[in-house]
Amino acid sequence: MTDGAGHEVVVVGSVNADLVVGVDRRPGPGETVLGSDLATHPGGKGANQAVAAARLGGRTAILGRIGDDGHGELLRAALGAARVDLAHLLLTPGPSGVALITVDPGGDNSIIVSPGANAHLTPEDVANARDLIAGAAVVSFQLEVPQPAVLAAARAAADAGARVVLNLSPAAEVPAELLALCDPLVVNEHEAAFLLGERGEPEAMARALLARGPRSVVVTLGADGALTADAAGVTAVPSPRVEAVDTTGAGDAFTAALCLRLARGDGLAAAARHAARVGAAAVRKAGAQTSYPKAGDDLPS
């Protein structure tokens, strides 16, 4: 695929190598625990969302940066294998981004990200990808790349009539201008509490987030599904009950499926219902990208 091919989803975001260790429990301060053998997987919130959308059959592209190291070779190969358009996957001298991940027996994870090449994505890169962004139905963002690049790309997407979806992860303060472009803003409960300055009942948080300026909001609730909020009100979206093996990439699978369904014309609540099923499917397998369902796979219901 090339610029102007009419991508359904363009992802502007991070591309990382996930270094994963299983642990019986996470260490406390000053404590050492033994873990499993180290596993290396392609990841990064941007790459995860691009791969998840592509595996679901979406015409997908990514704007991001990788390093000229061995991890970069792995990451490019994984995106290419998923048939993601790599015309704007840019090479930076130095290390690729890396995520250090621990996974406990319940499938819950803790993550530390070293940005590497991701920190070098610039508004100039966005300007050079203006045709790519202008040809998208939905442009998806996260915050593992610098905010100036995110804001520049969100402006370009909105100016071109594309739908802007921002996953506020990792949680960070963002300008009101960026929030106003979001349709929807996607957050989990921790990110919602960060943005609001306090934790509350999920429906109240969804309404409070909507009052901050985005056109719509999705609050993900893990195994309890999600809430959508827009001018029409708040809608609860249940999640199928599954046995969780690894939750590492579930949020990215949810956001990717949400973006793809919005690109294809679904309403917000309908898109979130499908996304919850995709997210539930993703937690049933280990890893992030390796866990994502393909178009035609049976999804939990």
- What residues are designated binding site for substrate? 16-18, 44-48, 144, 252
Residue 297 β-bridge partners = none
Question: What is the Cα gyration radius of the chain?
Answer: 18
- For the chain, the distance separating the N- and C-terminal CA atoms, rounded to the nearest angstrom, is 33
3-state SS assignment for residue 26: coil
Q: In this structure, what token pair is assigned to residue 47?
A: 């790459």
Q: How far apart are CA 263 and CA 161, in angstroms?
A: 12
Please state whether beta strands 182-188 and 109-114 pair in parallel, antiparallel, or not at all (unpaired).
unpaired
Known binding residues for ATP: 188, 220-225, 251-252
Q: How far apart are CA 167 and CA 156, in angstroms?
A: 17
Is the Cβ–Cβ distance between 242 and 284 less than 8 Å?
yes
Q: How far apart are CA 276 and CA 274, in angstroms?
A: 5
Is the Cβ–Cβ distance between 257 and 275 less than 8 Å?
yes
Residue numbers annotated as active site = 252
184: cis peptide before it, omega within 30°?
Answer: yes
Q: How far apart are CA 241 and CA 277, in angstroms?
A: 9
Amino acid in the structure at residue 227? L
Q: How far apart are CA 185 and CA 290, in angstroms?
A: 26
Of 220, 298, 228, nearest in space to 253 by CA = 220
Known binding residues: 16-18, 44-48, 144, 188, 220-225, 246, 248, 251-252, 282, 285, 287, 291
